[in-house]
Amino acid sequence: MQAQESPGWHGTTILTVRKGGKVVIGGDGQVSIGQTIVKANAKKVRPLGKGEVIGGFAGATADAFTLFERLETKLEQYPGQLTRAAVELAKDWRTDRYLRRLEAMMIVADREVSLVLTGTGDVLEPEAGVMGIGSGGNYALAAARALFDGPLDAEQIVRRSLDIAADICVYTNRNVTIEALDAK
């Protein structure tokens, strides 16, 4: 007899847009286990590094909070150097036995750079300042790319794109959290 797999945690859509002197990260609030919504108002986007960095996560919540704490520590070690802090976190994430088991992805941004961090050691700067992760990330990303050259500002693009993702992805809702920074 085969062991039953536990239902996977699904939940989230995180999107970043850098446009017109602003960088914005937004995320929905839904957390699901299998086909059941267990929380509709999770806050998966927050300020980091004394407010100089913003970040959002997709994946297991406890894992993401562990990674946020580790990133905060790296930001204290390398103040004002988000890329360096992210690379150091990615090295730890890939090589540390405990961290290697964490299942989450993160988007982080400061005034100069936006980055996607993964458990495989990737630290990626999104093309054209737009990136989505999570269950509905590709839907939000496609919408943001389509809206980018139009009249909407960065926050309006994030809000509209997350709304479009919620129309398509059953693991995405309209309970949105937004964080923004003025970009250089």
Active site residue 12: yes
One-letter identity of residue 36? T
Angle at 108 between CA 103 and CA 114, to 5 degrees: 130
Place of tokens 């990136």: 131
| Distance of alpha carbon 147 from alpha carbon 48, whole angstroms | 28
CA distances from 128 to 3, 10, 121 (A): 45, 27, 22
For the beta sheet containing 9-10, the strands, ordered from the edge strand earlier in sequence to the opposite edge, are 9-10, 31-33, 36-39
For the beta sheet containing 114-117, the strands, ordered from the edge strand earlier in sequence to the opposite edge, are 45-48, 53-59, 104-109, 114-117, 123-124
One-letter identity of residue 64? A
Of the residues 12, 13, 16, 172, which is catalytic?
A: 12
Catalytic residue ranges: 12
